Amino acid sequence: MLNTTATVDFTTVLARLLRDGAARDAYRANATALAEVWRVREDDLDAFLAFDPGELETQAAVLLRKRLDQVARLIPRTLAALDEGAWPVFRDYARAHWPDDDGAGYADACDFCMAIRQGRPAALCMAEWNRLRFLRGPRLAAIHLTAALPSPSRPRRALQLLFRRRNGAWREFLVYAG
Amino acid sequence: MWRRRMRRLRRRVIPMMTGVGYRRELGSWIASRPAGVECMEITAEHFFADGEPLLAELARDYPLFVHGLGLSLGTPGPLDAARLEKFARVAEIAQARWVSEHIAFTRTPEGDLGHLNPVRPTRDRAALIAAHAREVAVRCGRPVILENITSHLQLRGDLGETDFLNTICDLGDCGLLLDVTNLYINSRNHGYDPSAWLGRIERGRIVQLHIVGYTCNGGRWFDGHGEPVQPELLDLAREVLAHSPVQAVILERDDNFPGDAGMESELRKLATLRAPC
pLDDT tens for chain A, 178 residues: list them.
544 467 999 999 999 999 999 999 999 999 999 999 999 999 999 999 999 999 999 999 999 999 999 899 999 999 999 988 899 999 999 988 888 766 678 889 999 999 999 888 889 999 999 999 998 888 999 999 887 766 666 778 889 999 998 877 899 998 888 6
Residue type, B230: Q
Nearest CA-CA distance, residue B196 and chain A, Å: 24
Nearest CA-CA distance, residue A147 and chain B, Å: 32
Quick one: DSSP state of residue B19? E
SS3 A48: helix
Nearest CA-CA distance, residue B137 and chain A, Å: 24
Sort out which chain A residues have CB atoms less than 8 A from B74's CB and list them.
11
| Chain A residue nearest residue B76, CA to CA | A11
**Which domain covers residue A47, as residue numbers?**
10-51
For residue A126, being part of any structural domain is answered with yes
Report the mean per-residue pLDDT for chain B: 94
For residue A4, being part of any structural domain is answered with no
Does A56 sit within 8 Å of B117, measured CB to CB? no
Q: Could you give phi then psi for residue B243, rounded to 5 degrees?
A: -90, -40
How far apart (Å, rounded) are the C-alpha atoms in residues B198 and B183? 9
CA end-to-end span of chain A: 54
Residue B10 confidence (pLDDT)? 65
Average pLDDT over residues B112-124: 94
| A110 and A149 inside one domain | yes
Top residue of A4, A8, A9, A11 to mutate, by most chain B CBs within 10 Å, is: A11
Which among B113, B114, B153 has the least Cβ separation from residue A56?
Answer: B153
For residue A147, being part of any structural domain is answered with yes
| A46 and A69 inside one domain | no
SS3 B183: helix
A15 touches chain B (CB under 8 A): yes
| A31 and A67 inside one domain | no
For residue A18, being part of any structural domain is answered with yes
How far apart (Å, rounded) are the C-alpha atoms in residues B95 and B89? 10
Query: What sections of chain B are H helices per DSSP?
Result: 2-11, 27-31, 52-61, 81-93, 123-140, 161-172, 180-190, 194-199, 231-243, 259-271
CA–CA distance from B121 to each of B117, B128, B138 (Å)? 12, 11, 25
A70 touches chain B (CB under 8 A): yes
- By CB atoms closer than 10 A (0-12, 13-18, 19+), residue B116 is buried
For residue A1, being part of any structural domain is answered with no
**Which domain covers residue B192, as residue numbers?**
2-274
Residues B110 and B75 sit within 8 Å (Cβ to Cβ): no
How far apart (Å, rounded) are the C-alpha atoms in residues B244 and A172? 51
| Chain A residue nearest residue B155, CA to CA | A47
ipTM score of the complex?
0.90
Residue B29 pLDDT exceeds 80: yes
Residue A5 confidence (pLDDT)? 61
| A46 and A107 inside one domain | no
| A32 and A81 inside one domain | no
pTM summary value? 0.90
| A76 and A136 inside one domain | yes
| A133 and A47 inside one domain | no
How far apart (Å, rounded) are the C-alpha atoms in residues A84 and A174? 29
B218 touches chain A (CB under 8 A): no
Does B111 sit within 8 Å of A101, measured CB to CB? yes
| A28 and A105 inside one domain | no
Q: How many domains does chain A have?
A: 2
A2 touches chain B (CB under 8 A): yes
Average pLDDT over residues B169-183: 97
Summarised one tens digit per residue, pLDDT across range B211-245 is 999 999 989 999 999 999 999 999 999 999 999 99
Nearest CA-CA distance, residue A101 and chain B, Å: 6
Residue B247 pLDDT exceeds 90: yes
Does B153 sit within 8 Å of A52, measured CB to CB? yes
